[in-house]
């Protein structure tokens, strides 16, 4: 695979990163595939380039930097807080064409002042872009997965449905399909009378015994990826989910929430008004949202650049709260994107919970904007 040329503004980027007191790191181009397959999400999984080691271990070409930087931090047993920066090639299939391009960015690990760290990430991304695309009017779209999760939880849906909806956050077509199936449930068919009876009787032990016997009789057990207990519980959950219906009032509440699209300066009032009108208690999620807005203002970030869109998310499963993207106003290419990923470090093997936030810059898109 031929290397592409490093953008001519790379020196400016590295100077900006150094001025923000970050430590530049590099990571191997060949990465273990498992973290990306398990954690990054379906959107990235289907676009990465897979290979294998001589011993059959699944590997991939580095499709992004956040997971490799976090793994490096864990392996090096470095304390936090820690601010890393990176600049290098990533490899994945792109919708706009091309499989290889440069990314740069900052990962901010371990700052327990969540609002200040979120504000710093957005401020740094804006500041770096203002340096490398001077004179352009930037526009920031901000979303918050934690607020969406709070709304879904406050509606009292079964945990399985909450997980499905939260997993779909940021993918509007998938979210709409799930909501449609909640409004008009499709009941489970194809279950044998005995299994249906055991599920209805809530007799888990008998259901597990029946499934195990069936697996033994068919010879399936030796190749099964799930145990009889796991299968039993998945069948029960599937049946419960299929029988759950979202009433019209709750559906309208979700529709109203997802339609919120306001300047950030008005977003706190809009969310509080929505919660009051819907009778939902969103407590901590709204308090954290308000704290971030205040931190952005205190950091000197121009709030007029930022719009809050309730339905906005980013297609990586490890985000937990803030998500944002930045581009030139009126133009479609995203030049920078990022967010908060507080669960990722633990999922990758860190012994303690490490709050984290960061952003990436798409250098080829920035280069095209500089030439425009």
- Residue list for the binding site for L-histidine: 64-66, 92, 103, 107, 314, 318-319
Sequence-separated (6 or more) residues with CB below 8 Å from residue 110: 79, 80, 81, 82, 354, 355, 356
Binding site as annotated, residues = 64-66, 92, 103, 107, 314, 318-319
* Closest among 170, 171, 169 to 153, alpha carbons compared: 169
Q: φ, ψ for residue 87 (rounded to 5)?
A: -155, 120
Ordered strands of the 82-91 beta sheet: 23-24, 82-91, 100-109, 356-362, 336-340, 322-328, 138-144, 306-309, 261-263
Q: Which residues contact 128 (CB under 8 A, 6 or more apart)?
A: 13, 16, 17, 336, 361
Q: What is the DSSP letter of 141?
A: E
Helices 363-371 and 114-132: crossing angle in degrees, nearest 10, is 40
Beta sheet of 30-32, edge-to-edge order: 30-32, 58-61, 50-52
């Amino acid at each position: 695979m031929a290397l592409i040329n490093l953008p001519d503004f790379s020196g400016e980027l590295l100077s900006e990163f150094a001025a923000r007191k970050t430590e530049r790191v590099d990571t191997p181009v060949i990465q273990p595939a498992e973290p990306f397959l398990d954690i990054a999400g379906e959107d990235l999984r289907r676009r990465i380039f897979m290979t294998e080691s001589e011993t059959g271990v699944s590997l991939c070409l580095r499709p992004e930097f956040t997971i490799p930087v976090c793994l490096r931090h864990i392996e090096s047993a470095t304390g936090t807080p820690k601010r890393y920066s990176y600049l290098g090639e990533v490899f994945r299939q792109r919708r706009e064409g091309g499989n290889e391009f440069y990314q740069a960015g900052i990962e901010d690990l371990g700052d327990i002042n969540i609002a200040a760290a979120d504000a710093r990430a957005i401020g740094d991304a804006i500041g770096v872009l203002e340096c490398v695309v001077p004179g352009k009017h930037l526009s920031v779209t901000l979303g918050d997965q934690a607020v969406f999760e709070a709304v879904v939880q406050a509606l009292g849906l079964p945990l399985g449905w909450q997980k499905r909806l939260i997993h779909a956050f940021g993918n509007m077509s998938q979210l709409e399909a799930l909501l449609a199936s909640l409004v008009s449930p499709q009941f489970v068919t194809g279950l044998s009378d005995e299994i249906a009876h055991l599920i209805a009787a809530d007799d888990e032990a008998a259901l597990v015994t029946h499934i195990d016997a069936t697996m033994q009789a068919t010879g399936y057990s030796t190749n099964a990826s799930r145990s009889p207990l796991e299968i039993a519980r998945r069948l029960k959950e599937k049946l419960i989910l299929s029988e759950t219906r979202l009433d019209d009032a709750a559906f309208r509440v979700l529709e109203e929430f997802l339609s919120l699209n306001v300047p950030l300066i008005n977003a706190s009032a809009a969310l509080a008004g929505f919660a009051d009108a819907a009778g939902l208690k969103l407590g901590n999620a709204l308090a954290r949202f308000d704290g971030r807005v205040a931190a952005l203002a205190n950091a000197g970030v121009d709030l007029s650049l930022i719009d809050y869109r309730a339905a906005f998310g980013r297609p990586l499963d490890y985000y937990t709260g803030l998500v944002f993207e930045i581009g030139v106003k009126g133009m479609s290419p995203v030049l920078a994107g990022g967010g908060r990923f507080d669960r990722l470090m633990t999922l990758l093997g860190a012994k303690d919970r490490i709050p984290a936030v960061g952003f990436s810059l798409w250098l080829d898109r920035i280069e095209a904007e500089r030439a425009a």
